[in-house]
C-alpha cells in the first residue's frame, strides 16, 4: 500500500515579520550572505556579540535594557548601560530565533535631507520569526491552547509601551483578563498561573530577535559599508508585530 500523506491546517500563530533594506551593490553581496548563512549558528552569533560588546553598549545606549540579563525579573527597566560583565551574561542567554530568510529586489526612489532625488536598486532581506512557546504542552494538557494563543497575541502586538511598563506586571495581566471576559474558572486559573512567565519568555524572544537583527545582522552589513568606504546614509529595518502565521503541516496517515 502506498504511504498516505495529507496536509493539516493549524490555527494561526503569532510571529514577527522583519525586512532589512540594503542598497543592491556587488560589494555587499558576500557580507549579507555570510551574515545570514552563519546567523543560524547560535554560537557564532554569540561570539560576534561578545567580541563587540563594548561598541554595542555604546551604540545601544538609548536602549540599555537590551543587554541587561536581569531585565526579565525587574519591575522597572534600567536607564544606564550595564557593565561589560553583565552584558556578556545577557549574550550567553541568547537563543537564536532565526530559521531562514528570503530575498527580493526592488527599484526605489529616495530623497536626501536636501531634497535631492536618487534612484537606486534595493536588496530586501525578509525574515519571519516564529514564536514556539515552551508553554504549548501545558496549555494543551489543560485544554487552554486558545488562552495561550490569546496571551501571545496580546503581548507581541502591544509594543511601543512606555519604557517603565512591563508586560508581565500584575496590571497588564488584569487588563488582559478584563479584555477577555467572560472566563471559565479553568481558563482564568491558567492566566493567573502562567501569564507573567509567558510574558517574560515572549519578551526575551522579542529581544533576542532584536539582538539578531540590529546587533548582529545589520551591524555586519554596516561594517562592510565602512570597509568599502561607500558610506550609506541610512539602513532601514521594518518590523510588523501583528502578523499571523498559519503553518500547513504534512502528516502521515
Per residue in 85-125, pLDDT tens? 999 999 999 999 998 999 999 888 888 788 888 888 888 99
Residue 250 lies in a domain: no
| 6/200: higher pLDDT | 200
The 3-state DSSP class for residue 60 equals: coil
Q: In what order do the strands lie in the sheet with 102-111?
A: 102-111, 117-130, 13-23, 236-245
Higher pLDDT, 8 or 45: 45
Residues 169 and 126: beta-carbon distance below 8 Å: no
Residue 251 inside a domain? The answer is: no
- pTM for the whole thing? 0.87
Number of structural domains the chain divides into: 1
pLDDT (average), residues 8-24 = 79
- Per cent of the chain over pLDDT 70 is 89
The C-alpha atoms of residue 123 and residue 43 are separated, in whole angstroms, by: 27
* Residue 138 · residue 158 · CB < 8 Å: no
> Does 198 reside within a domain?
yes
Most confident of 17-31, 162-176, 178-192: 178-192
pLDDT-derived band at 39, boundaries 50, 70, 90: very high
The answer as to whether 167 is a domain residue is yes
Tell whether 252 is covered by a domain. no
Q: Dump pLDDT digits (tens) for 43-58.
A: 999 999 999 999 999 9
The whole domain housing 22 covers 5-245
* pLDDT of 87: 97
125-135 pLDDT, tens per residue?
Answer: 999 998 889 99
pLDDT at residue 1 above 60?
no
Distance CA 136, CA 155 (A): 16
Question: Does residue 75 belong to any structural domain of this protein?
Answer: yes
pLDDT of residue 98: 93
CA distance 216 to 46: 9
Find all residues with CB under 8 Å of 223, minimum gap 6, and list them.
31
For residue 234, pLDDT beyond 90: no
Classify residue 140: in a domain, yes or no. yes
Amino acid at each position: 500500500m502506498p504511504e498516505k500523506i495529507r496536509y493539516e491546517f493549524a490555527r494561526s500563530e503569532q510571529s514577527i515579520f522583519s525586512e532589512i533594506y540594503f542598497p543592491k551593490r556587488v560589494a555587499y553581496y558576500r557580507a549579507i550572505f555570510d551574515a545570514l548563512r552563519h546567523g543560524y549558528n547560535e554560537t557564532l552569533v554569540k561570539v560576534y556579540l561578545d567580541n563587540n560588546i563594548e561598541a554595542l553598549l555604546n551604540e545601544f545606549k538609548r536602549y540599555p535594557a537590551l543587554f541587561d540579563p536581569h531585565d526579565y525579573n525587574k519591575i522597572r527597566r534600567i536607564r544606564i548601560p550595564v557593565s561589560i560583565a553583565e552584558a556578556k551574561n545577557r549574550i550567553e542567554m541568547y537563543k537564536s530565533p532565526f530559521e531562514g530568510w528570503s530575498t527580493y529586489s526592488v527599484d526605489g526612489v529616495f530623497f536626501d535631507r536636501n531634497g535631492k532625488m536618487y534612484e537606486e536598486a534595493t536588496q530586501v532581506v525578509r525574515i519571519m520569526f516564529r514564536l514556539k512557546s515552551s508553554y504549548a504542552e501545558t496549555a494543551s494538557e489543560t485544554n487552554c491552547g486558545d488562552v495561550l494563543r490569546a496571551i501571545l497575541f496580546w503581548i507581541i502586538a502591544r509594543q511601543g509601551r512606555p519604557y517603565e511598563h512591563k508586560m508581565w506586571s500584575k496590571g497588564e495581566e488584569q487588563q488582559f483578563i478584563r479584555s477577555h471576559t467572560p472566563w471559565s474558572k479553568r481558563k482564568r486559573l491558567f492566566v493567573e498561573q502562567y501569564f507573567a512567565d509567558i510574558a517574560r519568555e515572549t519578551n526575551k524572544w522579542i529581544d533576542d530577535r532584536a539582538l539578531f537583527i540590529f546587533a548582529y545582522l545589520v551591524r555586519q552589513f554596516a561594517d562592510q559599508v565602512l570597509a568599502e568606504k561607500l558610506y550609506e546614509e541610512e539602513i532601514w529595518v521594518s518590523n510588523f508585530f501583528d502578523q499571523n502565521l498559519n503553518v500547513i503541516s504534512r502528516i502521515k496517515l
